[in-house]
Amino acid sequence: MIINAGGRCDIVNYFSNWLIKRFEEGFVYSRNPYVPNLVHKYILDPKVVDCVLFCSKNYAPMLDKIGGIAEKFNIFCHYTITAYGKDIEPNVPSVEESIKTLKTLSGITGKQRVAWRYDPILLTEFYTVQRHIETFETMAQKIAPYVSFCIFSFVDMYKKLEHNMPEIVPLTQNDREKLAEAMGHIGKKYGLRIQTCAEKEDYVKFGIKNSGCTTVEILEAANGVKFKTAPLGKARENCKCVQSRDIGAYDTCPNGCKYCYANKNPEIALQNIKNHNQNSPILIGEITKEDIIKDGAQKSFLYGPLPNETSEQRRLF
């Protein structure tokens, strides 16, 4: 099974000490967001965890820790770096700082375990199609040597997005085609594989692969392993990614991104994180007597040997 440490919130950026504590103690609790008193327990052991997925906009807090995790577990890192500034991503590091951190991360994990996410693509009067194209090329030139591929997707127009971002300009089909064509050309220019995730449109004609951001094939290539089989997650329409178990919580990410689907609004997130205890087995709050704790379904889908584990590596945890 796959552990997801970044789907519901930016655990790497804001809760890295808690995450390391979970690996040290060898288990984690995850509260069901739709049945709040139902809690699943997951064992953090490479015998049953085939891969740990990270997704973050700032890996700086984990740079001195992620190598130890990678020596014991298969991992894959999604690094989101977009064209947006503080007007849309108020608490995200600058592009320059993010690229510097990405290069360091790639040196620790290997480029095959890192993907660059340029998503979601959205338009405003300031972030125009042309601005995206120019910014993407500037970034691609610097990032391409340090990642295995780049993923992009166009913003989904959730109802709360219309409320949180009244300045958004709807993407037309022509906008999408123009962006995809330019990104495909830029990818070819810099030797950067470009692919989409959860997009119904096919941009193969522009050299863009229509795939998922976390497929079995991606995880196999990144970690030198082979899956027997693995169920698809179907987290979103048109999603082709492998199923994972998220250990985060909604409404807990302080990044404050206006387009975020995982936060109702930044104020709620800031209130919720006041209940975070880095020594608790669950991300937010504590386990109570009303909670029902169940063992999460865990089994390995891998063929062959586990990642090499020496006594020295075991002492890292």
Residue 153 has pLDDT above 70, yes or no: yes
If you average pLDDT over residues 107-111, what whole number do you get? 97
pLDDT of 313 reads 36
Confidence of residue 316 (pLDDT cuts 50, 70, 90): very low
Give residue-wise pLDDT tens across range 292-307.
999 998 999 998 654 5
Cβ contact 169:124 at 8 Å: yes
| Cis bond upstream, residue 120 (ω within 30) | yes
Give the Cα separation of 80 and 262 in Å (integer): 15
Cβ contact 232:240 at 8 Å: yes
Give residue-wise pLDDT tens across range 239-285.
678 889 999 999 999 999 999 888 877 788 989 999 999 999 999 99
Q: Which strand ranges, in their side-by-side order, compose the sheet holding 245-246?
A: 209-211, 194-197, 149-154, 114-121, 75-80, 51-56, 2-5, 245-246
Strand 209-211 and strand 2-5: the pairing is unpaired
pLDDT of 146 reads 98
- Top pLDDT among 36 and 212 is at 36
Confidence of residue 213 (pLDDT cuts 50, 70, 90): confident
Confidence of residue 199 (pLDDT cuts 50, 70, 90): confident
Quote the tokens at residue 239.
Answer: 């999603």
Cβ contact 175:188 at 8 Å: no
Give the Cα separation of 55 and 194 in Å (integer): 18
pLDDT of 274 reads 94
123 three-class SS: strand
Task: Determine whether 96 is exposed, middle or buried from the number of CB atoms within 10 Å of its CB (0-12, 13-18, 19+).
Answer: exposed
Give the Cα separation of 49 and 272 in Å (integer): 28
Is the C-alpha dihedral spanning 148, 247, 44, 244 positive or negative? negative
- The residues with which 4 forms a beta bridge, in sequence order, are 53, 246
In which residue are the tokens 């800031």 written?
270
Give the Cα separation of 273 and 252 in Å (integer): 6
Q: Which strand ranges, in their side-by-side order, compose the sheet holding 38-43?
A: 27-31, 38-43, 292-295
Task: Count Cβ neighbours within 10 Å for each residue of 117-127 and write b for 16 or more, e otherwise.
Answer: bbbbbbbeeeb
Quote the tokens at residue 60.
Answer: 């700086």
If you average pLDDT over residues 165-191, what whole number do you get? 96
Cβ contact 197:80 at 8 Å: no
Confidence of residue 234 (pLDDT cuts 50, 70, 90): low
Give residue-wise pLDDT tens across range 26-70.
999 999 999 989 999 999 999 999 999 999 999 999 999 999 999
Task: Determine whether 47 is exposed, middle or buried from the number of CB atoms within 10 Å of its CB (0-12, 13-18, 19+).
Answer: exposed
Mean pLDDT of the chain: 91
Residue 309 has pLDDT above 60, yes or no: no
- The residues with which 121 forms a beta bridge, in sequence order, are 154
Strand 209-211 and strand 194-197: the pairing is parallel
